[in-house]
Structure 1
Amino acid sequence: MRRLLPLLLLWTTHSLADPPVLRFSVAESWSMPLMRVEGDQPVEGLLFDLMQAIAREVGVRPEYHVLARLRLQEAMESGDIDVRCYVSTQWFQDRPGNFVWSIPVIHQRDVLVGGADASNPTRPEQLAPQAIGTVLGYAYGTLQPLFEQGRLHREDSRSQLLALQKLHAGRYLHAVSNELSLQWFNQGLPAGQQLQTLAVLEEQDLGCMVRTDPGVPTQGVLRALVRMKQSGEIERISQRYGGAGYAGNAAARTP
């Protein structure tokens, strides 16, 4: 009996121990419906629900690191985060050696947005020289040649929400937004004040990147996303935030 007591104590201690931690990055530029952050911790949003679901599926405790977008790459390289979601292969010139890609999760459209009275679709190259609302740290491939030529120049905001708020307040005539954030923003406005989509600038599939390390359940996360995709859970999460079809359109393949 005396021999069993240490074993029982060890088993009890192990059973009560916290589950392993999985560190997710959160870009401070995100706003609803992607993420709402209070006191440096996310509390709701499409990506918050997605990360919570990943953690439940894998059996880990999620830990959220809220970072400036320009610090995300540094955090990946220094091993400070384990999972980075809402990211595209198009955003990297070189494949990060210590991270692997998941299947695409969300299909995103970036659109050119005008004020409530902007009724005619237009292309960015048709715009007169002007400032255009953008988000700090984001790259806009379609607009970059126009920025380099000086025909347009960036008016950066810290978040997508602030960029749209400035457009609505008349700080500039046009802005760039992902379509989901624009739809969410317009829900709070009367029909006559809603911002207008003028053109689709880019479309891209976004997924997650998972660090390859013996202490990280890399394959578990990748398999969890496949299961969540096949079961329709990712689509249901998207639908909660007005993104019907956003998950369904993302091709189920590994980049």
Structure 2
Amino acid sequence: MPKLLPALLLLTLSCASFASERALRFSINDSWAMPMVRIEDGKAVEGILVDLQQRMAAKVGRKAEMLVMPRMRVQHALDSGDIDVRCYVSPNWVDSGHYRYIWSLPFMTQRDVLVGVTPEKFKPEQLLNQRLGTVLGFTYQRLEPLFNSGQIQRENARTQDQVLLKLSARRYRYAISNELSLHWFNRHQAPGQKLHIISEVAAEPVACIVRDAPDVPTMALLRALVQMKQAGEFDEILARYR
């Protein structure tokens, strides 16, 4: 029995250390809609990001704390180091504050599309004197010259889902949506009410950024993301919501 005491003590200390490790803080942008995330009472309860981030945390032996916040507050949290991981982000979407973070490999591509209520095919540059449904605070690089010149006007809604709901209600004729959110929205529409892709506006590889600090298992998280990509776990998560 005395010989077992050191091993038992080590095991006890290891368990105590694991239990005391805080949860990893993941940011959730409250402008996202399903299938990216569903938010109820200020909490992220399901969606691609919830599944992805819970799995990432589990792979490094931590719990995931998902902090739902407005887009501008996400940027402030990056600047101040108040979040450990931000997923589903492109370098083109981050203004500053990412110098403390390390980028993961891209795990998927977000496609932004021009959407309408009737089947048509044309490029967004062909729009003239139209109001275009957009998400408040989102940047659409290809369209910025059109907005700045007054050729088209932004009509902002707080979330991507609200943009599509307003389009479906004919509040305007055209809107911008990411392809995943559009497909999810159309799943719940009658055949004659489905919205239509007119053309692709942009395709952005998206990744995670992980805070590089002693209290974050940065390299372990980045390795876990590589392993998930190689094992097809990203595709498995996406398939649940297609």
* Aligned twin of 2:25: 23
Deviation, 1:93, is 5.5
Contact kept, 8 Å, 1:83 with 1:210, in 2: the verdict is: yes
- Number of the residue aligned with 1:174: 174
Alignment partner of 1:176: what SS?
A: strand
Kindly report which structure 2 residues correspond to 1:104-253, keeping only aligned pairs within 5 A, or say none: 104-115=106-117, 118-242=118-242
Secondary structure of the 2:98 match is coil
2:79 pairs, out of 77, 80, 96, with 77
1:9 deviates by 7.2
Cα distance in 2, alignment partners of residues 199 and 136 from structure 1 = 21
Does the CA contact (< 8 Å) of 2:102 and 2:209 recur in 1?
Answer: yes
**Superposition RMSD on alpha carbons, in Å?**
2.1
Q: Is the contact between residue 19 and residue 59 of structure 1 (CA under 8 Å) also seen in structure 2?
A: no
- Alpha-carbon distance between aligned partners in 1 of 2:101 and 2:188, rounded to the nearest angstrom: 39
Q: What's the secondary structure of 2:120's corresponding residue?
A: coil
CA distance in 2 between counterparts of 1:96 and 1:12 reads 38
Residue 113 of structure 1 and its aligned partner are, at CA, apart by 0.3
Q: TM-score, normalised by structure 1?
A: 0.88
* Alignment deviations for residues 5-49 of structure 1 (CA, whole Å, 9 cap, x no partner): 899678546525244321000000111000011222211101110
Aligned length: 239
> 1:161 and 1:231, CA in 2 relative to 1: closer, same or farther beyond 3 A?
same
1-structure distance, mates of 2:23, 2:87: 16
Is the 2:157–2:163 contact (alpha carbons within 8 Å) kept by the matching residues of 1? yes
Are the equivalent residues in 1 in contact too, given 2:89–2:208 (CA < 8 A)?
yes
Distance in structure 2 (CA, Å) of the matches to 1:234 and 1:18: 29
Secondary structure of the residue aligned to 2:82 is coil
CA contact (8 A) 1:42 1:64 kept: yes
Matched, 1:34 2:36: yes
- Structure 2 SS opposite 1:142: helix
Shift of 1:96: 2.2
- Whole-Å Cα distance in 1 between the matches of residues 194 and 187 of structure 2? 8
Give the letter aligned to residue 240 of structure 2.
R
Deviation track 1:76-126 (CA, whole Å, cap 9, x = no partner) reads 1111100000100122456821011000011111000001xx222011121
Q: Which has the higher helix share?
A: 2
Query: Please, which of 41, 60, 63 is the counterpart of residue 62 of structure 2?
Result: 60
In structure 1, how many angstroms separate the alpha carbons of the residues matched to 2:131 and 2:60? 45
AA matched with 1:181 = S
